Structure 1
Amino acid sequence: MLYKTFKVDKVPYQKIYLLSLIPFLFPLLMLVWGTLFEHTNSITADVPAWQLKTISIILYVQLAISLGCIVYFKGIRLLVATLAVLQMYFTLPFFLVAYMSISGSWV
């Protein structure tokens, strides 16, 4: 019943589809970055802007890779889009924790 409702393309598995899993590495990268540049000094101390911008760049690169995979993989776009949503579900909390760790202002 469900199979007839949604038209599914029968696309054979290809190794290139593993590229859609690369953005799962970005949350770990964000946590490592936040740990390396943890800000433990007083709140009024200046934090280098490049450390905070790097976290944002990592987030945007992950988003770009996810969107690129959605566009590139024509036969499995629904699966890749679902993976992208799952990846962002993990990434956004890690982004916030890493950003707070670097900036020193915890919510």
Structure 2
Amino acid sequence: MLSKSRYRWLLNRLRHQSDGLEECGPDLVVEYSKATGAPILYRLNDYPRCPQLIRDFNKLVKHGLVMRKRSYLYDLNGFMVMPRATHIYQLAPSVQNSITWVDH
């Protein structure tokens, strides 16, 4: 799949998810992989990761189409699940109602 189509897919997915998307969400990773054919890395006792998805999110942040917020994963008892942070992505307010695509 071309990069422009992947960006469009991500932006449309973000439009339908008003509270944002988490980059390590298993559902998002699997759905993105099925839509784009990107490979998924599975590790023992860890969430599935998709390097292509992370690169695409970084590109959208770089171009100002998406905002990134740092988030830490906690279990129900309040203990941190993973020491490294994950990110939650939301559409930038300027992009909310516009249709702008990048391919660089």
* TM-score, normalised via structure 2 length: 0.29
Larger-gyration structure (1/2): 1
* Structure ranking higher in strand proportion: 2
* Higher RCO (CA 8 Å, separation ≥ 6 residues): 1
* Structure ranking higher in helix proportion: 1
